Amino acid sequence: MTHTLPQLPYDYSQLEPHIDAQTMQIHHSKHHATYVAKLNAALEQFPELFETPLEELIADLDKLPQEIQSAVRNNGGGHLNHTLFWKILTPGGSKQPIKQLAVAIEQTFGSFEDFKKELQTTAINRFGSGWAWLSVDEKGKLIIESTPNQDTPLMHNHTPLLGIDVWEHAYYLKYQNKRPDYLEAIWNVINWDNVSERYEEATQ
Ligand code: MN3
C-alpha cells in the first residue's frame, strides 16, 4: 500500500490567529504532500517495502537499499513528523498536560513552566531547519531533544510525543524571521489530550 496524505482533524483556518490558514494550507497540501509523493517514488523501486511500517524502515535505515536511504530518511521522516504534528495541534481541548503526563513533566522538569522554557530554548537554538521534541527515551524517561531536517526521535529508539516544526515553512508567512514569536504562540494550540494519551501508550 502506498503512503497517503492524512486529512487534518480541523480546518486550515481553525488555528488562527496563532497559526494562519495560508501557512496551514501550504504546509499540509504542498509540503507534506510532497514528502508523501517522494517517499512513494523512492519505495516504488522496492515495492515489497510498502508492506513494512514506515516507523520500522526509519528506525533501521541502514538495512534499506543504499540508493533510497536518504530519500526515505528525508521524505519518510517528513511524512511521519508531519502526521504527528497535525495531531498534536488543536483549536480546543486542555491547555496543559493532563493525568500521568502532567505528573511526569513536573517530576522531570520541575514545573510545566520550566518544561516550556526548556523546549522553547531547544527550538530557538535549532540551527537551520529541524524539530524540537518532547520524547520518551529507551528507559521510559521524558526528554527534550532536537533533530535536524526531517530526522525523527524514532531513529534513536525514542518515542516522540510532541514535535514542534521549526522549518521556516511552518511560520514564515505570519512571523517572518521571528521564530520565538511563533514558538510563543504555538502553546495556545497544543493538543495536550493527544500528547498525554500518547505518553500513557508509550510508557505502558
Ligand atoms: Mn513542516
Ligand 1 mean position, distance from CA 92 (Å): 22
Ligand 1 mean position, distance from CA 5 (Å): 13
Query: Can you tell me the mean pLDDT for 164-181?
Result: 97
pTM of the model: 0.97
Structure confidence at residue 1 (pLDDT):
84
Q: Percent of the chain having pLDDT more than 90?
A: 97
Ligand 1 mean position, distance from CA 101 (Å): 25
Name 189's Cβ contacts closer than 8 Å, sequence gap at least 6.
15, 18, 19, 89, 90, 91
Long-range contacts: 22-29, Cβ < 8 Å, 24+?
22/173, 23/169, 23/170, 23/171, 23/172, 23/173, 23/174, 26/169, 26/173, 27/82, 27/165, 27/169, 27/170, 28/82, 28/86, 29/5
Ligand 1 mean position, distance from CA 168 (Å): 8
Query: Can you tell me the mean pLDDT for 83-101?
Result: 94
Q: Does 93 have pLDDT greater than 90?
A: no
Residues around the ion ligand 1 (C-beta < 5 A): 165, 167, 170
Ligand 1 mean position, distance from CA 104 (Å): 28
Ligand 1 mean position, distance from CA 32 (Å): 7
Rg (the chain; Cα; Å): 17
Ligand 1 mean position, distance from CA 49 (Å): 24
Ligand 1 mean position, distance from CA 184 (Å): 17
Ligand 1 mean position, distance from CA 107 (Å): 31
The per-residue pLDDT of the chain, averaged, comes to: 97
Task: Tell me the pLDDT tens digit for each residue of 105-120.
Answer: 999 999 999 999 999 9
